[in-house]
């Protein structure tokens, strides 16, 4: 078996080490004998979504998002078709905001990909914190770090999780991220996937199922260190409520 990961615009959207997420996906495949390849795309490259099994859209500053947004118009239709067919996407922070209709900032409005029915508006004060979620997709809490000025409104969509510590989508609803078909959008940096191996495996399993049209049960890996770190974060921030 083989998966191909498309990394969209890593030269612009790569805040807080989103490349670590790519390395994590590649390693977790290779450790199981699944071949994995990553194709980085730069602005202006043609993207053949039919060759991709996972698309990663990383975080970026408002300035970088503004630069990327012009190009998104060119790939929107193909990207939308990929998502509607069940293509796997992991979109982080700035990338999460770009999944939606728009991101309104003081400097202007950034038009998004409109792949998921959500939108983002900048408000005073950045939401910067460690963050812990409970998601019904995973047993382990999801842990990470958030730093965003935008508040994201997901309407009737399913959130990735309930915020146990931190701010999440808008600092008010108590929810974080979005799950739509095989797309996950989230504000969690960290990088996200090395800290949350169950989330990484969810993406890999969905990608293999899409590609090979059969249910996939991934072999277990030794995630004891990740579990220990996860439990530490949970106890420090959720149980004891310490910042």
The annotated binding site for substrate is made up of: 126
Please give the C-alpha separations between residue 168 and each of 76, 84, 143, in angstroms, as whole numbers.
26, 26, 12
SS3 88: strand
Among 30, 61, 107, 242, binds ligand GLN (CB under 6 A): 61
Nearer to ligand GLN by Cβ, of 94 and 144: the residue is 94
Instruction: Say which residue the tokens 């805040």 belong to.
Output: 15
Smallest gap from Cβ 148 to ligand GLN, in A, equals 3
Helix (H) or strand (E) holding 188: none
Q: Is 176 in the site for ligand GLN (CB under 6 A)?
A: no
Q: Which of 7, 93, 213, 235 is catalytic?
A: 93
**Closest residue by Cα to residue 107 from 63, 59, 138, 148:** 63
x/- track of binding to ligand GLN for residues 96-135 (CB under 6 A):
-x--------------------------------------
The count of residues interacting with ligand GLN (CB under 6 A) is: 13
Among 87, 94, 112, 197, binds ligand GLN (CB under 6 A): 94
Nearer to ligand GLN by Cβ, of 34 and 132: the residue is 132
99 within 8 A of 132, measured Cβ to Cβ: no
Please give the C-alpha separations between residue 67 and each of 62, 107, 124, in angstroms, as whole numbers.
9, 13, 23
Among 6, 59, 112, 168, binds ligand GLN (CB under 6 A): 59
Helix (H) or strand (E) holding 16: none
Q: Does 235 participate in catalysis according to the annotation? A: no
Q: Is 148 in the site for ligand GLN (CB under 6 A)?
A: yes
The annotated binding site is made up of: 126
SS3 173: coil
Smallest gap from Cβ 220 to ligand GLN, in A, equals 32
Q: Is 149 in the site for ligand GLN (CB under 6 A)?
A: yes
Among 6, 60, 166, 191, binds ligand GLN (CB under 6 A): 60
Please give the Cα distance from 5 to 130 (Å, whole number): 28
x/- track of binding to ligand GLN for residues 177-216 (CB under 6 A):
----------------------------------------
Q: Give counts: helices (H), strands (E), the chain.
A: 6, 12
Q: In what order do the strands lie in the sheet with 88-92?
A: 35-41, 2-8, 54-57, 88-92, 183-186, 178-180
Q: Is 50 in the site for ligand GLN (CB under 6 A)?
A: no
Q: Does 93 participate in catalysis according to the annotation? A: yes
Q: Is 15 in the site for ligand GLN (CB under 6 A)?
A: yes
Burial 203-234 (b: 16+ CB within 10 A, else e): bbebbbebbeeeebeeeeeebeebeeebeebb
The residues that touch ligand GLN, with contacts defined as CB under 6 A, are 15, 59-62, 65, 93-94, 97, 147-150
Residues assigned a catalytic role: 93, 189
């Amino acid at each position: 078996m083989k998966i191909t990961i498309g990394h969209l615009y890593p030269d612009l959207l790569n805040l807080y080490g989103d490349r670590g997420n790519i390395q994590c996906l590649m390693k977790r495949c290779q450790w199981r004998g699944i071949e994995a390849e990553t194709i980085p795309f730069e602005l202006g490259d043609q993207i053949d979504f039919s060759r991709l099994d996972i698309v990663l859209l990383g975080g970026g500053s408002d300035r970088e998002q503004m630069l990327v947004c012009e190009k998104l118009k060119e790939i929107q239709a193909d990207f939308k078709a990929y998502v509607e067919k069940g293509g796997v996407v992991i979109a982080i922070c700035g990338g999460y905001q770009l999944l939606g209709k728009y991101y309104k900032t003081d400097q202007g409005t950034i038009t998004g990909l409109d792949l998921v029915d959500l939108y983002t508006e900048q408000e005073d004060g950045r939401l910067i914190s460690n963050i812990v979620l409970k998601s019904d997709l995973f047993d382990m809490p999801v842990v990470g770090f958030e730093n965003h000025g935008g508040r994201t409104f997901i309407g009737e969509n399913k959130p990735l999780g309930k915020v146990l510590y931190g701010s999440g989508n808008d600092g008010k609803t108590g929810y974080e991220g979005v799950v739509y078909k095989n797309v996950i959008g989230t504000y969690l940096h960290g990088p996200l996937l090395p800290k949350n191996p169950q989330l990484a495996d969810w993406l890999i399993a969905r990608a293999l199922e899409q590609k090979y049209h059969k249910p996939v049960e991934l072999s277990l890996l030794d995630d004891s260190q990740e579990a220990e770190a996860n439990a530490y974060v949970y106890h420090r921030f959720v149980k004891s409520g310490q910042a």
